Structure 1
Amino acid sequence: MPAQLTLVLGGIASGKSAFAEGLVRQSGKPMIYLATAQAFDDEMTQKIARHRKARGPGWHTIEEPLAVAQRLRDIAAGHCVLLDCATLWLSNHLLSDSDLEAETHALLAGLADCTSDLVVVSNEVGLAGVPDNALARRFANAQGRLNQSIAARAARVILVTAGLPVTLKGPVA
């Protein structure tokens, strides 16, 4: 089990990643950024570059779009790991036509096996309307279940809206 598991939720461009990065910096431990994004177009390439520049020095970055559970197991104790983000990880598996149930189970096991502090960023999709197509509904339902499963295991859950954190569970950040 991680020394401490924190889930940081929020909408798109809510400030959740920047807030989560701050939590990792505050830990004082060696920082690992476990990135799940894939750059399929110029806009995403630029976004990844902006995020990397904004993080600044001191981060060891691991890019892993799919096999996050194994990567978490490979990280030695004593670090603080930022998994950014569970939403893109899920999207990657959905678009790869993976078995989402099996992959989600593997991710949850990987979270439990990680021996370093862990901050997981994820999008809160439950505040939007019902999607208008089957793929989007499948994703929203899977994302909601994943968020609930991680939140149940987390010592701390924080919702970030407009850059402002609200602690939902555990000690105030």
Structure 2
Amino acid sequence: MASSDLTFVLGGARSGKSVHAEQLAASSGRKVTYIATARVADREFAARVAHHRERRPGTWKLVEAPVDLAAALAAADAPDGCVLIDCLTLWLANLLCPPDGDYDDEPTPDHHTAFGAFEAALAGARGQVIVVSNEIGLGVVPLGAETRHYVDELGRLNQRVAALCANVTMMVAGLPLVLKSSAASANTSADNRADT
């Protein structure tokens, strides 16, 4: 059964998904922990990260988890807290394409093992969790086996997370399209009880 405190926000590049997720976290009234999955590899990406950082309230705690997302979520989770994870897309890239650079963090696990551990941490969360991911499978079939593998694995990961979450929103041009809502489920259950 999906938890009403689990929210999944999907969208394409520059769809407004991160801003929407940040607004949800800010309106939660809880202490927010922001889990960033990005690895900064160049100047352009560093500017993107800085833009995200400037937008967030200074009171939010930051945790960087480019590989062990399950452990980061388990450590940040609290009944009165809100965890915002941004994003699964970069996390999967870190799992499938570990850097050759001078990163000295933990070894990269098999992505299927990492998926299972993250899914278990998400299912066991006691507080509010908001997860952000890209929807990249709406275009043509990409060229190259590696790219197709990445698109397929992200689609599978997104499906697993969406199944656990009671609230799923797709962002398009800055507009939220609700795909799944705990409020709608509660209203449907109340309507069904009224009919009996």
Structure 2-normalised TM-score? 0.84
Residues 1:113 and 2:124 aligned together: yes
Contact 1:8 1:121 in 2 (8 A): yes
Checking the alignment, whether the CA contact within 8 Å between 2:35 and 2:63 is kept in structure 1 is: yes
Larger Rg: 2
Counterpart CA distance in 2 for 1:156 and 1:147 is: 13
**2: CA distance, partners of 1:32 / 1:133:** 37
Q: Say whether residues 1:146 and 2:157 are aligned partners.
A: yes
> 1:79 maps to which residue?
81
Partner amino acid, structure 1, of 2:93: S
Cα shift at 1:98: 4.0
Q: What are structure 2's unaligned runs of at least 5 residues?
A: 99-107, 185-196
Alpha-carbon distance in 1 for matches of 2:156, 2:136: 10
Root-mean-square deviation (Å): 1.5
Q: Secondary structure in 2 aligned to 1:9?
A: strand
Instruction: Structure 1 unaligned segments of length 5 or more: list them.
Output: none
Q: Shift of residue 32 of structure 1?
A: 0.8
- Kept in 2: contact 1:2–1:113 (CA 8 A): no
Deviations along 1:81-127, one digit per CA (max 9) or x if unpaired, are: 10000111111000127422111111111111222100000001121
Other-structure match for 2:179? 168
- The equivalent of 1:88 in structure 2 is 90
Task: For 1:17-166, list aligned pairs within 5 A.
Answer: 17-75=18-76, 76-96=78-98, 98-166=109-177
Q: Distance in 2 between matches of 1:66 and 1:128?
A: 27
Work out the CA distance in 2 between the residues paired with 1:124 and 1:98.
Answer: 24
Aligned residues: 172
Q: Matched residues, percent identical? A: 42
Q: Residues of 1 paired with 2:142 and 2:117: CA distance?
A: 27
TM-score when normalising by structure 1: 0.94
Give 3-state SS (helix, strand or coil) of 2:158's partner. helix
